[in-house]
Structure 1
Amino acid sequence: MEMLPTGLVVGKFWPLHKGHQLLLETAAAQVAELVVLVYASPDSPTMPAAVRAGWIKELYRGDELSAGICIGSTRLRVFALTAEADGVPPDAAPDEVHREFVHRWLASQGIVVDVVFSSEGYGPGFAQHLGVAHVAVDNARQQVPVSGTQLRADAAGLAQYLHPLVAAHLGAVPPAQVPRVVFLGAESSGKSTLCEALSKACNTVWVPEYGRTLHEQKSGNLDYEDLLYIARRHAELEDAAAAEANQVLFCDTNAATTALYSYYYFHRCDPILQAMAAVCGQRYAHTFVCAPTVPFEQDGWRGPEALRSFQHGMILMQLDFYGIPYTLVEGTVAQRVEQVKNHLTINS
């Protein structure tokens, strides 16, 4: 298939859902650059266009911020438009008004597009007005049977059609394929060792702490924006691992701990990361906390041992703040494995 230079997608993305992701990813596979316009009028007071555009940018950024926002090798240029700054017409305005608005806005920005991608009936006429080709993507909603209107009415009931990052921002949690059990704890408290041992003992899989992976990749030089990215990627890795899990999925760390580190390193936390932390009590079937009583191992990436007690206390405080029940595990690795297995058996 010959790649066209520039594609265009226009939508409310209110909220961004997996149907939108299908549209964007299908479009990106056919163009070298994809322009995405996000707008509505009247706009949402709680998740305005800038927030919705931010979801797209966050979902399609990679490990290195310098690489930009991409789907594969296709560059995404995402714009949030408003009535005040850009003259966005009302949603109820005739199609001709919206078509001409986009036409003039693109011209004002010096952007030339070659093809329009859409999942709506307006697509062909819109593309014709711009004088470009049109590609329809799942207009019948067969691949992703949901709409923004449905999700605005019942985000919690339809959360399976939302990325975990977006779902959390709406206070919802996508249903889990298998129960997820999360392990929290200070640095060098045995979380990874315990998860690996449990995965072998229970013949299942586990999800390592993605924050540690990125921390090492960047030689410890994390940026503020990396913390939300860590939480997003960790959630995606959990979802991928759930498809391979046998009855239970063990997870090393969660978004709540990532939020703690955001405050620790940068003294602030992205609102979406805060939202992901707030739904951890719903996302995981049970939370275990590893007591910091195993010998401390300084691997070159951890803080000083003296911080372990403080970190442990902060984790417990956060769990109490969110009202998340937890079980403390202590002793050797073998003893901790038995404690977890016995507890999960009792609650099965």
Structure 2
Amino acid sequence: MNRLGNILTPRLGLAVLALVLAAAPFGFANPYQYDVAIHVLINALVAVGLNLLIGYAGQISLGHAGFFGLGAYVTAILSANYGWPVLLSIPAALVVVGVLAFLVARPILRLSGHYLAMATLGLGILISIILRTEAGITGGPDGMVAPPLSIAGMNLYSEVYWYALVAVLLVLTVWLALNLIDSPVGRALRAVHGSEVAAQVVGVHTISYKVLIFVVSAVLAGLGGTLTAHYSGFVTPDLANFIYSIEFVTMVVLGGMASTFGAVIGAVILTLLPQFLTGFDDMEMMIFGLILMVVIIFMPRGLIPALTRVLPGVRR
């Protein structure tokens, strides 16, 4: 019976997520609400990938906004400056992000603790500086135009179509994350998180698994960047800003580390909360910080792990 519950609970959660995403548009009254929802889903997609790295592998990254911005710029440059079809420039951007992540992962992931945090922070800042200073390629601080996404010869301008596309991609990302967690790779990642030395003793090649999940997480961040670029139609170096890296990490921590659905919930809360605080003018950021502080103090493991104590059937 326990085995059956373990199998059904993630599937049930995935089904509920898909139903919520399918039903949500019926409550949208205008294009602005679609716009906010699209940004929520893109952030959730990035947070799910970052949760694999932080929550399951136990490796901190404060530079994922760099991969987000790099993905946005590579697809914008290829499609706007070189005339690539967007459906080709997006995969090309993900390859570039993945290759960069692979090249830097092995030396960076040999570090741990605050040394690892500082190294990833430096990487993100370096990417941001390059995007800002290489004006001949990136447009510099002013940014550059990103052509619209075209499918079957039709440009996607409508928020309705964009919402449907991003919702499907989020469901697929969550499904892949859940399957990865239940695979031998996921068990190896949890072993690395628990004790890297113990994992090595039992034959787990820890650095290989850390590099793998770092690349997967970076590519998902890059995917979020490419979607943002072609949805908004414009990219600026601010996409790689350090503050966005902190926001992505906060989404994971708020929802609950080592919880895929927690990462989604954290992204929803952290993206929507400022929308409800706009009426407080100068106090907006103070209230925002206070709410986060209260949650972290009273639910240090995040929202979903806190719920599991009350509702044992809730997991992942």
TM range (shorter): under 0.3
Q: Give the TM-score of the pair, scaled to structure 2.
A: 0.26
Return the index of the structure with the highest Cα Rg: 1
Identify the structure with the greater helix proportion: 2
Decide which structure has greater strand share.
Answer: 1
TM-score (norm 1): 0.24
The structure showing larger relative contact order (alpha-carbon pairs under 8 Å, at least 6 residues apart) is: 2
